[in-house]
Structure 1
Amino acid sequence: MNCMFSSISLYSMVLADTKFSGSRSVTLMAQSSKRTHHKKVPKNLRNPRRTKLPPDFGVNLFLKKPSTDTGLSHTYFDFDEEDKGGGDESEDDEQENDTVWESEELEAISSLFQGRIPQKPGMLFRERPLPLPLPHKLRPLKLPMSKKHVTLAAPKIASSRASICKQVYKNPNFLISLAREIKALTSNEDVSVVLDKCARFLRKGSLSLAIRELGHMELPERALQTFCWVQKQPHLFPDDRVLASTVEVLARHHELKVPLDLEKFTSLASRSVLEAMVRGFIGGGNLKLAWKLLLAARDGKRMLDPSIYVKLIMELGKNPDKYMLVITLLDELGQRDDFKLSQQDCTAIMKVGVRLHKFDVVESLFHWFRQSGRDPSVVMYTTLIHSRYSEKKYREALTVVWDMEASNCLFDLPAYRVVMKLFVALNDLSRAVRYFSKLKEAGFSPTYDIYRDMIKIYMVSGRLAKCKEVCREAELAGFKLYEQMVSRFAAN
């Protein structure tokens, strides 16, 4: 039996001295003597440059294939070798990763720390082209132009004049100041001294407000002179608004000549002029002429505004001898189809209806106003309570008080006066006391009739001490009570 011995030899590899220590690093490797050729360990495994970095957070480690190491196991006793052994390869990698920066890029990066990036020479200020016209905003051809004042292509003076005209021709402050300048004129001067200066800024209807202001200043002559000046201006006349304002001012000051044939006049005059004349006669107290003109318009089948009827009803209702005319106007107004009245007009007619004991008119007007979708005011509620109180419908009047409370309608002093009368008529002491205290909490001072109603309801209830207290309060407020009440209290 043949035996073969194999010898194992130890080879030592001496490495270079390190910079930081004088000791030598020795790597022991076991190798068989029979192997003449051994596999060389890669350079990156012999001299690693750095420790491995942790993986990125975005990398899925489970999808990465595991790497299999097929080399020999080595033991490293000194990690300072990476500073010397891997120097050549790191320099090669740096040369490969080194990028060449251009001058423009360096200049752009340096400008980030200095300020604005310098621009290349060229068109620094570009003019943007105008937007294309939209087809839906263009008017089609062969159609009439809009009824607006179209300013043609003109010099800058004309455009500035148009802008001033738009600001001036209907400005109330300017027109009122114009009337004041006319008032400041002497008796020998004509209104043309003031109006000629601003003639180019005026338009049709501009001077109607100035004429009405002259009427408030008791200057009907100046109003007539202004109208005569307007007649001479072709761009201001004819104009119904200026004519109506002049007619109203002259009629209010009894300086308007009444035509003999009213029927012919009403058939030729416009509605605005007729209404202005009636308003002027009513404002001047000439109710007879206003009534005649209204009858002539009715016979000529000319329907005037309902507010004209309301004004005439209010003025005629002040005279008990004219109650029949008021009833006629109420019936005529109720038969109209275009029944449109404001809240003030409704309240005025309701007050006249209470005075004439036309309680059905009051009720119908109130219901019509509620059905029109509007909320009644405290004056309208008070008028309705007074109407039902006058008709001795106390319970129905109390429901109106509940409606006022439900609608959060604030009471004023006339409303408290009417409500106190209602509670006295109902002999409701608790509500009377509560509303008497609410009146004081609201900041109102009780009137003489409220003190009298409170004394009366306390006397009926047998509360004499309260009667004396209210009497002292009324005397401190400056009211003198009846001598009978004082003597009765003194006797008790």
Structure 2
Amino acid sequence: MPQKAVRRRKESAAHVPPPRGARPAGTPAPKRYVRAASRGALSLRSPVSSRVFKNPEVLVRIAREIGALPADEDASEVLGRWGPFLRKGSLSMTIKELGHMGLPERALQTLCWAQKHRPLFPDDRILASTVEVLARNGQLKMGAPMERYLSSASRTVMEAMARGFIKAGNVDLTRKILLFVRDNKRALDASIHAKLILEAGKNPDRLRLAEVLLDELGDREDLDLRPQDCTAIMKICIRLGRFEAWRASSSGSSTLAAVWEMEERELLLDLPAYRVVIRLCVALGDLARAARYFSRLKEAGFAPTYDIYRDMIRAYAAGGRLAKCRQICRELETAGWKLDRGAQNLLLQIEDGLLSDD
């Protein structure tokens, strides 16, 4: 074939347009594709241990493999296979999962295995998870007076132990931890106090202790409580009739002065929290605040429960607000509820003039 014909064929081939949607050679790829490709490449190049030691699915899988072992085999049978891919802190989630599975003895075996592997231990996260699982299942054996053990325990471990005892309903041992902390000028998270108050308040014989704990918590300067903790404490305050505890002064001398900061900080509340706050406001005679929380509850998309409707009817009735009472009654009936005899009698009293109208 003549050279000119070959050259013309090559030139025509070089000028064939690319397929529709194809990117011409040499054109930079869009940034989003570059970033995605880079992440994929890094993921594939990263060591297996980097993709395992923080992966919840893998760590839960390890727990399930341990749980499936025959009773006469130790957890080390599984951990030995995964050992090369684990790092410090990895097994904390595995131990927690073993606790959820009701296998505290396997959690202890996992801790014992980790203690023999120096890259994985010492680690307070693994120790704290194991302590909490054992305490929750009534299997925490310290082998020494409790005070001697606590003196060498970190704050993380003591908090885990306290949480475990509270979940087990062991108020006395949790109280010992708090007394040790107080006497030794140490501190635990305020949520531990809140959880113990709730647990103690469940038992009529422990209500006096709940009051003492409430006062102790009120004396703390750091009241950084979560909404769930505030809700729990409010329940106990209502049960104890300690409504004055919520009349917080700006000086902070009253118990739990920080609770009303929930409103100022616009913290999100769940339905149980709204129920407790509204009941508390009604008990305090704070109608304006109760009405505000009632409105916020509905704005947040929650459906008021019957007892919330009933509390609002009583609050408006106490203020002689007949029109508001009727409005709440209509809402209640629209929601499919019926007034109980007590609420009906209350409305009759207002209509008969025993309470003043709006």
Q: Is the shorter-chain TM-score for this pair beyond 0.5, marking a shared fold?
A: yes
Q: For residue 152 of structure 2, what is the aligned residue in structure 1? A: 268
Give the superposition deviation at 1:259: 5.0
Q: Distance in 1 between matches of 2:177 and 2:268?
A: 35
Question: Is residue 244 of structure 2 the alignment partner of residue 360 of structure 1?
Answer: yes
State the 1:409 CA deviation.
4.5
- Give distance in 1, aligned partners of 2:61 and 2:113: 18
Q: Radius of gyration: which is bigger?
A: 1
Correspondence for 2:169 among 266, 285, 290: 285
Which residue of 1 is the match for residue 103 of structure 2?
219
> Are the equivalent residues in 1 in contact too, given 2:314–2:343 (CA < 8 A)?
no
Q: Which runs of 5+ in 1 are unaligned?
A: 1-103, 119-124, 127-158, 464-492
Q: 1:452 aligns with which of 294, 319, 341?
A: 341
Partner SS state of residue 340, structure 2: helix
1:472-491 correspondence runs (5 A): none
Query: 2: distance between equivalents of 1:399 and 1:228?
Result: 54
- Asked whether the equivalents of residues 179 and 210 of structure 1 are also in contact (C-alpha less than 8 Å), the reply is yes
Unaligned stretches of 5+ residues in structure 2: 17-24, 27-42, 248-256, 353-358
Q: Structure 1 residues 195 and 350 mapped into 2: Cα distance closer, same or farther (>3 Å)?
A: same
Partner of 2:323: 430
Which residue pairs with 1:324 in the alignment?
Answer: 208
Which aligned pairs between 1:281-360 and structure 2 lie closer than 5 A? Answer: 281-360=165-244
- Shift of residue 175 of structure 1? 1.4
- Give the superposition deviation at 1:454: 4.5
Change (3 A) 1:160 1:377: closer
Q: What are the within-5 Å matches in structure 2 for residues 23-422 of structure 1? A: 116-117=14-15, 162-258=46-142, 260-363=144-247, 364-372=257-265, 374=267, 379-391=272-284, 393=285, 396-402=286-292, 404-405=294-295, 408-410=299-301, 411-413=303-305, 414-422=307-315
Say if 1:370 and 1:376, in contact at 8 Å, map to a contact too: no
- Secondary structure, aligned partner of 1:341: coil
Query: Conserved in 1, the CA contact under 8 Å of 2:223 and 2:258?
Result: no
1:404-441: per-residue Cα shift (whole Å, max 9, x none)?
43783545214323213324444544323322332354
For the 8 Å contact 2:279–2:308, the answer to whether it is kept is no
Query: Which letter maps to 2:115?
Result: Q
- CA distance in 1 between counterparts of 2:210 and 2:312 reads 28
Inter-partner Cα distance in structure 2 for 1:323 and 1:371:
30
Give the residue type in structure 1 aligned to 2:206. Answer: K
Cα RMSD (Å) of the superposition?
Answer: 3.2
The question of whether the paired residues in 2 share the 8 Å contact of 1:215 and 1:249 is answered with yes
Q: Higher relative contact order by CA 8 Å / sep ≥ 6: 1 or 2?
A: 2
Q: Is the 8 A contact 2:281 2:289 kept in 1?
A: no
Instruction: Say whether the 8 Å CA contact 1:307–1:345 is kept in structure 2.
Output: yes
1:186–1:251 Cα change, 3 Å? same
Q: 1:247 to 1:375 in 2, by over 3 A?
A: closer
Between 281-290 and 323-332, report the one with greater CA deviation: 323-332
TM-score (norm 1): 0.57
1:204-260: CA deviation from partner (whole Å, max 9, x where unpaired): 111111111111211111111111111122221111111111111111111112454
Q: Which amino acid aligns with 1:412?
A: P
State the shift of 1:274 in Å: 0.8
Tell me the amino acid that sits aligned with residue 162 of structure 2. Answer: V
Paired residue type of 2:310: R
Q: Compared with structure 1, are the counterparts of its residues 377 and 256 closer, same or farther at alpha carbon in structure 2 (3 Å cutoff)? A: closer
Counterpart for residue 23 of structure 1: none
Conserved? CA contact 1:424–1:453, under 8 Å: no
CA distance in 2, matches of 1:222, 1:316: 30
Normalised by the length of structure 2, the TM-score is: 0.76
Structure 2: which amino acid aligns with 1:237?
F
CA distance change for structure 1 residues 259 and 372 in 2, over 3 Å: closer, same or farther?
farther
SS at match of 2:58: helix
- Indicate the SS of the match to 2:47: helix
Q: CA deviation at 1:309?
A: 0.6
Within a 5 Å distance, the mapping from 1:9-24 to structure 2 comes to none
Aligned mates of 1:200, 1:440 — CA distance in 2: 64
Change (3 A) 1:235 1:111: closer
SS of 1:265's partner is: helix
Q: Distance in 2 between matches of 1:296 and 1:344?
A: 26
Q: 1:259 to 1:303 in 2, by over 3 A?
A: farther
